[in-house]
Structure 1
Amino acid sequence: MNGLTARWAGVSEDGTAFSAAGVWPLLAHLAGGAEGAARAELTEALGLPAGQARDAASELLVAMSAMRGLDTALGLWTKRTLELKEEWEAGLPADAHGVLTGDPVADHRALDAWTAKRTGGLIDRMPVTLAEDTKMVLASALTMRTQWLSPFREVDLETAYEPWAAKPRLGLRRSSAVLDRVGVADTPGGYVTELKVLGNNALDGRASGASRRRHPPVQHLRGMSSHLKHAVQGQGGAPASLETSASLALGSRPQRWS
């Protein structure tokens, strides 16, 4: 799963958000029922032989479900005319398989209900377009709930660069004197700063920011405090972003992630 995360991040050029932990079990179950080129491609993506993938996915889902604050689910919907292998279908998680009726409105209503239930209401609509001839829908849901041991406070963000310089945005801010919460990694693409934010149920958040400027690590750390501003969507549709005080202290333009 870590390999899938690394490859996914390696091909992401713009700001993005993804979770291999949510996708890997879904791909693993598909690999168990695939054949030919599809089976080979899924095996490469998973980093695990297809014959072992389904059992590994089941173990992973059980392990994640046992963690406080973490909920995960897989969903598969197929048209009645699409026959599934009984052995493969039997290996799916309980209540994972549903039926598409061919009525896009009714089917979308059912998918939306599944989405809201499996995410605790955090997401209320399945981001998929259905048609009368849709034969299959695959989905995974992964939610994490925690409370930060050191809470953030709401602030107004001031941005000096376009296109958000003239648009008001709200952000979250916190500071800490614990130095081991922040670190800098020297990578081929530049220095990457990581901030760890501890949760109250053993779930931690990690925020990472890359800099193309080749400052020595000691200079990077000297300018870096355990201080994070997390911008949320504000007026004018500005995308969410992360800005570290290190970027501001060193005079470089803050990096952005949507």
Structure 2
Amino acid sequence: MDTDVVRAVNELTVRWARSLPDGNTVVSGLGLWPLLAILATAADEPGRAELAEAAKVAAADGSAQALALIDAIEGSEDLHAALGVWVSEQLKLAESFDSVMPAPLVGKLTGNSAADKPKLDAWAAQHTNDLIRELPIEVTPDLMLVLASALSLRTTWVIPFKELVRRFHDGPWAGGSWHWLERVDGELDAVRRYDDLTVITVTGDADVDVLLGIGEPQASQADVLAALLGAQGEGVPGSRLIDQGQPGTEVAPGVKVGQTTAPRPDLKLSLPSFSVETEHDLMESRELFGLSAVTTDPGAHGHFSSISPAPLAVGQAKQKVLARFFATGFEAAAVTAMGLMRTSMPTQQARRLEVTLDRPFGFVAVLRESRLPIVAGWVATPTEPGD
């Protein structure tokens, strides 16, 4: 997989994560990036340069790189991706359309919501294994083109968790009873400290891992997520952390040295199960995504002359995304859509590390080999009360 593209997707995800309001949330920079790259190739100036800068691509190469990324993802066992384009029956296409819009032409738009919306929604459901059943786009008579991406991820933990109910009497989650997950294994180096950040790798059984990140209690959501996405190098592995203090000592954020009756040191991981689902209106942060120019009134000539001689502007841009972390695995899905509109617009035998995520923490799912981030999010409060 192209390392420059991986870096570009990661940078987009970091910028987006830093802009998010506090609270439970999840985003997919991977779902958005191909659309920005394709639009960069298709747009006229000044939108072309703005989109290329947001996607960190050469504008002329954006469409090809987007398609190559989707093809590369399809080589994954756990992660699947699709691109789709729907064009209005009323839109005259430019001769250059096929070269700037490489995504498969899925179908036509009639402008009739009762006819078009079910087709769009069925595509979203098909390409997310029914995790997301609606394409986040409003069908109107002025909707001339829809460009969409879909991602779906399902992985099973190599070592499953035990399920229990836990109640807190102090801390930010005090007074609640939560559905909780715990497991013990011997892989101490699944935990690593990067300065004021602890990263825990939960390994899937194929080619996707989920990284959990917790910072110091006073650390902001934005800083923890950015640090988690940017964590590089070896850090301080758990096999060294375990010797840095006596039982009861905190040796990294969220990590204490504990005790076990097992014959060898081990790692206990404890956290709430979570399910986070969010819809983002990208038009509310259009400067962040390079959409400022192409969302303005284009006048008589439009912003996308290589798509159509008709004056077009981006009038809708949304993403629906979800992530679920549970006892046996992790699943996530994202559907991102852009709408181009026609304008007018006990006894000690060995030590253990005890990792407890009992306060807000971040997460990111990555392809193991390339470290391509798939979804990243934040758990401010547990989402599933205990019975």
TM range (shorter): 0.7 to 0.9
Following TM superposition, by how much is the alpha carbon of 1:19 offset from its aligned partner in structure 2, in angstroms?
1.9
| CA RMSD, Structure 1 to Structure 2 (Å) | 3.2
2:121 & 2:21 partners in 1: Cα distance?
Answer: 30
Following TM superposition, by how much is the alpha carbon of 1:32 offset from its aligned partner in structure 2, in angstroms?
0.7
Give the secondary structure class of the aligned counterpart of 2:194. Answer: strand
Q: 1:2 matched to which residue of 2? A: 10
The normalised TM-score by structure 2 is 0.55
Following TM superposition, by how much is the alpha carbon of 1:7 offset from its aligned partner in structure 2, in angstroms?
1.6
Confirm whether residue 33 of structure 1 aligns to residue 38 of structure 2.
Answer: no
Following TM superposition, by how much is the alpha carbon of 1:125 offset from its aligned partner in structure 2, in angstroms?
2.1
Q: Structure 1 stretch 107-116 or stretch 121-130: which is displaced more?
A: 121-130
**In proportion to residue count, which structure has more strand?**
2
Q: How does 1:239-254 map to 2 (within 5 A)?
A: 245-246=355-356, 248=358, 253-254=359-360
Unmatched tracts of structure 1, length 5 or more: none
Following TM superposition, by how much is the alpha carbon of 1:103 offset from its aligned partner in structure 2, in angstroms?
1.3
Confirm whether residue 192 of structure 1 aligns to residue 197 of structure 2.
Answer: yes
Q: Structure 1 stretch 25-34 or stretch 130-139: which is displaced more?
A: 130-139
Q: 1:175 matched to which residue of 2? A: 184
The normalised TM-score by structure 1 is 0.79
Confirm whether residue 112 of structure 1 aligns to residue 121 of structure 2.
Answer: yes
Q: Contact 1:174–1:229 (CA<8 Å) still a contact in 2?
A: no
Give the secondary structure class of the aligned counterpart of 1:129. Answer: coil
Equivalent of 2:256, from 219, 223, 230? 223
Identify if the C-alpha distance between structure 1 residues 202 and 233 changes in structure 2 by more than 3 Å, giving closer, same or farther: closer
Following TM superposition, by how much is the alpha carbon of 1:158 offset from its aligned partner in structure 2, in angstroms?
2.3
Length, aligned pairs only: 243
Q: 2:62 matched to which residue of 1? A: 53
State the structure with bigger RCO (CA 8 A, min sep 6), 1 or 2: 2
Q: 2:214 matched to which residue of 1? A: 209
Q: How does 1:75-90 map to 2 (within 5 A)?
A: 75-90=84-99
Q: Deviations over 1:168-226 (max 9, x none)?
A: 5424333333121112223xxxx222111111112211122333448xx9644352755
Which amino acid letter does the alignment assign opposite residue 198 of structure 1?
Answer: T
Which amino acid letter does the alignment assign opposite residue 15 of structure 2?
Answer: R
Larger Rg: 2
1:84 & 1:210 partners in 2: Cα distance?
Answer: 51
Which amino acid letter does the alignment assign opposite residue 81 of structure 1?
Answer: Q
Q: 1:257 matched to which residue of 2? A: 379
Q: Alignment identity in percent? A: 34
Equivalent of 2:20, from 12, 33, 40? 12
Q: Deviations over 1:13-37 (max 9, x none)?
A: 4242112222211211111111112
**In proportion to residue count, which structure has more helix?**
1
Q: Structure 1 stretch 50-59 or stretch 119-128: which is displaced more?
A: 119-128
Identify if the C-alpha distance between structure 1 residues 4 and 254 changes in structure 2 by more than 3 Å, giving closer, same or farther: closer
